[in-house]
A = this chain, B = another copy of it.
Amino acid sequence: MTQHSHQTAPTQFVDAAGVRFAYRRFGKSGGVPLVFNMHFTGTMDHWDPAVTDGLVHDREVILFDNAGISSSSGEVPNSIEEMAANAAAFIRAVGLTQVDVLGFSLGGLVAQELALAEPELVRRLILLGTGPRSGEGMASLTPEAQKIFGATYDEPDHLWLNVFFARSEKSQAAGREYLKRFRFRTEDRDPEVSDKVAPAQIEALAKWGVPRENPYDYLKALHQPTLVVNGGADVIIYSVNSFILQQHIPNAQLILYPDANHGSQYQYPDLFVRHVSTFLDG
Contact = CB atoms under 8 A, between A and B. Distances in A.
A232 B249 CA distance: 10
A257 interface: yes
Interface string A246-258: 1101111111111
Given A274-B278, A278-B274, A247 B254 contact: no
A206 B211 CA distance: 38
Main secondary structure of the interface of A (DSSP, over half): mixed
Contacts of A232: 246-247, 252, 254
Contact of A271 (B243, B274, B278): B278
A250 B232 CA distance: 10
A260 to B, nearest CB: 9
A282 interface: yes
A281 B250 CA distance: 31
Interface string A266-282: 00000100110010001
Contact of A282 (B225, B246, B254, B271): B271
Contacts of A134: none
Contact of A251 (B226, B247, B254, B258): B258
A259 interface: yes
User: What 5 A-B pairs are tightest by C-beta distance, nearest first?
Assistant: A254-B256, A251-B258, A243-B243, A246-B256, A232-B246
